[in-house]
A and B are shown apart, each in its own frame.
Chain A
């Protein structure tokens, strides 16, 4: 129960932030960071716990975004229902892509390549298809009522994204302690050994991808509600595929809080980079992200959470601190 307790503490603490009188700029920063964290939490289920590194998670983000936007704008569907269907869309894409790739036995670099290709195909399709607004994109009408899932104050959006992150944290925690989670980790560590112990690796990976897709799609749905605009580059662009994998890796793959920690750090670095150059510096934040990625992989492959747990064991149990090699 310790894990769920930690989740509750963190969520409650974060929920109190709007009452501290922070500026809208700060709230905006936190909202975006939490949204990226959510996308990363999705990636983390498949990549962190499952060890399948997807380079095309934009496929889920964008699908969630477009489903939500199209249903509301073209078919007048209620915003909350559209949101739910957006998540379902992400899950469906996960089932399709996962089913196709894992049944073919694709792993490692090939899997990364295929996911990249899927995301690109969706991006190109959405940039020409009329239903997704072709090159122009889709604008969602401003309608500041909770019933339309839009809020007058930033705080409303903040609590909404925090709630989604909280759900994802809980789901991740449940996975970690469940049979599915142990089997998923086993598949990550050694797929053949897992199969010899009765684990249906393909089924496990597909399920992980479905969950992963659903969570990242939720981030896409939120994007649309917050920014009220989506186009093919924002939906399926490499920027979100990269941020979705960067945050868990920096924060700590295969941990519950990794993506959250990573998102806050990554976004802070990005903001910092923009501040230093006075704001007009396209691409600089991604340069920083890329460098951090290489540095983390090189020097701290278990990410920030890994560093924290090593620190903790050194401080509390200096004699028992065991250096475990990974990678």
Chain B
């Protein structure tokens, strides 16, 4: 099997007495969409923060394209090709949409003209072309989510971490966003998404990891994971799997 793009080996993160992430090992292949699901407080966002360099692991190693990048700073990981969006959108509120994307575009395009052109191209691909001159703070939630995505894309990542990019969107907005995400994968970008919107997980993800209480409790294709009693247990609580087991399979 080809070298995985991202490899986590027994990654842990402790905060005082609390172990948020507990010896997690997983591998992400190039160009695939992977979902990371689990109940609230399972440690998913913490895991993203560890991968993107915003937190240093208490233990374990992270390998990206074969190299050990454990503990590297976020900006250096971004240069390597790891990009992330934030659960709570972090745009540059006072700047225009164009300037927001420009910040990311400048990473690999040092000249202003080329960076501007690239930013406009990215905006077009994400349906933000008409909003380029608007201040980012005036966008709707859906617009801001697209802007988050655009900023991250402008850095030309190989690995994109999407943290609940569909949260706060209504069903039609979700329906519009799904093909956008699929399109990114078709460009060769590996995507890892934390998502609670199950319809998106089912239709987009090729592989799913389930995280509960800091540990991976299941992995596999979406149908496999959905049928896994341990997963049902984690989401619905003690005994739920047994109670539902008698009912028809989903």
Contact = CB atoms under 8 A, between A and B. Distances in A.
Interface of A: 177-179, 182-183, 185-186, 189-190, 192-201, 322, 324-326
Closest 9 CB pairs of A and B: A198-B78, A193-B90, A189-B92, A198-B107, A195-B74, A197-B104, A186-B103, A179-B106, A200-B75
A190 to B, nearest CB: 5
Given A179-B115, A190-B90, A195-B73, 16 more contacts: A177-B112, A186-B92, A186-B95, A189-B93, A192-B86, A192-B90, A193-B92, A196-B74, A197-B104, A197-B155, A198-B107, A199-B107, A201-B75, A322-B135, A322-B138, A324-B135
B137 A325 contact: yes
Contact of A183 (B76, B84, B103, B135): B103
A182 B110 CA distance: 11
Contacts of A201: 75
B219 interface: no
Category for how many chain B residues contact A: 20 to 34
Nearest to B89: A193
Given A197-B152, A197-B155, A182 B78 contact: no
B145 to A, nearest CB: 14
A194 B93 CA distance: 12
Interface in B104-128: 104, 106-107, 110, 112, 115
Interface of B: 52, 54, 73-76, 78-79, 83-84, 86, 90-95, 99, 102-104, 106-107, 110, 112, 115, 134-135, 137-138, 151-152, 154-155
A189 B86 CA distance: 15
B120 to A, nearest CB: 15
14 contacts: A177-B112, A185-B95, A186-B103, A189-B93, A189-B94, A190-B92, A196-B78, A197-B152, A197-B154, A198-B155, A199-B103, A322-B134, A322-B135, A324-B137
B74 to A, nearest CB: 4
A222 B117 CA distance: 43
Nearest to A327: B94
A183 B115 CA distance: 13
B157 to A, nearest CB: 10
Contacts of B154: 197
Contacts of A192: 54, 74, 86, 90
